[in-house]
Amino acid sequence: MPTSNNNAANVSVGKPVVTGAVFNAVAGTSLPTSTSATLAAAFKALGYVSDDGVTNSNTPSSTEIKAWGGDTVAVPMTEKTDTFQLKLIECTNLDVLSAVFGSGNVSGTLAAGVTVNVNSVDVPASSWVIDMILRDNTAKRIVIPSGKISEIGDVVYKDDEVIGYDITINCLPDSDGNTHYEYLKAAAASGTT
């Protein structure tokens, strides 16, 4: 009988980093390649995300090829979609509005007045970073080099629900063919330097 390799210490939940969990910058901004790398100044913090958190759908689709007689002889992948879905709930954060509607469609300040032009102008893909903390303070960072908002859910205005922008980010492949990167690093043991 094989030895069990089950380890509950490897089970975790994802919690946002308290200093900010979701960041957005124009495409081409220098990207971090570790959990501890400082983000380029172009990355803007998008504030609180709803308690549904972030959902990654990374789903390949395949087609079965059958031989005469009905045997399946090949299962080639026909497509692979990589998306992240989250709801940004800081509805008066200008960086949120710019990420959702495009920076060219947002002008002004809250003090003087903000104008958001809602139109069919294509919002370009941008870079995204999602930071979280796992069990035992293990850091996890997701980096999306080129992510385009492909869906915006209904915006609900009612007295018992926060206003938010429920977005789906479609991850586009970079020059290496990767749609996103994930970096993990355990917290340093206490007493070490």
Return the pLDDT at 58.
82
- What torsion do the CA atoms of 47, 33, 39, 54 make, to the nearest 10 degrees? 0
pTM attached to this predicted model: 0.84
Return the pLDDT at 15.
67
- Which phi and psi angles does 149 have, rounded to 5°? -70, 115
Query: Mind listing the pLDDT tens digit for each residue in 58-94?
Result: 876 667 878 888 888 777 765 678 999 999 999 999 9
CA distances from 128 to 10, 22, 107, 154, 178 (A): 26, 7, 22, 22, 14
Q: Which residues of the chain have pLDDT under 70?
A: 1-2, 8, 11-13, 15-16, 18-19, 60-62, 77-79, 189-193
